[in-house]
A and B are shown apart, each in its own frame.
Chain A
């Protein structure tokens, strides 16, 4: 919970930046990773998070529509529970 006060080294920041870069979708990766600026990375991360938010919104919408046709003690509930394993 308490943030680490004290100087964060450039190396640590660079490591975090490359790790974050690795998470972003392939299409947004630049060929020469070292040239991608911090601001570009931040922007891509921001857009990626927003697109994930949109996906969650859309899927939630779809699920809520499907659920309105689903009843509780149905075989459907069993199928969903089986997804857990």
Chain B
């Protein structure tokens, strides 16, 4: 898949750029390094996607600002959102029961309100979807984002596994020359 290859390329380039300044990279705290890798992955995904949707632009715009501040904000607002949602769901149970007693039209209102609430929640997890977007565009945006998120997960997993495997190879007792021979055959198998 061309997108995955583009994403992988961007990711590798970005990570290499970060680690090229070895002093700075190793001087980073674990948290900073994690944030840097995550930022690289998101920017790589957004750049590889290009202009066909809104979310890539939103990611790149957010990355333009201080990335560490941004991710802190996103993280805490995600936690808050989960707590708020739990509270709302408890309350909803009570009010729905109360409404059930009244006319049928109210249940339509409840359904509509629920859709609106869920739509808002969906907007919050898709970058750039906060803006007023008609329902159809939001659904299209959601589909596009899901597809590319899955690709990002896949690429990250493969890179992690490759690095892990190569670390095991490196730490084994095989001499360097044998190591190189092994790599060539395994990469051809891929």
Contact B139 A75 (CB under 8 A): no
Residue pairs across A and B with CB atoms within 8 Å: the count is 159
* Number of B interface residues in the complex (CB < 8 A): 63
Q: C-beta contact mask, A18-56 vs B, less than 8 Å → 1, else 0?
A: 011001100000000000011100110110111011011
Answer yes or no: B72 CB below 8 A from chain A CBs: no
**Pairwise interchain contact A63-B143, C-beta atoms closer than 8 A:** no
For A, the interface residue count at a CB cutoff of 8 angstroms equals: 52
Beta-carbon contacts under 8 Å, B92-148 to A: 111, 114-115, 118-119, 121-122, 125-126, 133-137, 139-140, 142-143, 145-147
Given A46-B118, A59-B157, are A16 and B139 also a contact pair (CB < 8 Å)? Answer: yes
Q: Which residues of B contact A3 (CB under 8 A)?
A: 133-134, 137
Q: Chain B: residues with CB nearer than 8 A to chain A? A: 5, 8-9, 12, 15-16, 19-20, 22, 26, 30, 33-34, 36-38, 41-42, 78, 111, 114-115, 118-119, 121-122, 125-126, 133-137, 139-140, 142-143, 145-147, 149-150, 152-153, 156-160, 162-167, 169-170, 179-180, 183, 186-187, 190
* Residues of chain A having any CB pair with chain B under 8 Å: 3-4, 8, 12-13, 16-17, 19-20, 23-24, 37-39, 42-43, 45-46, 48-50, 52-53, 55-57, 59-72, 74-85
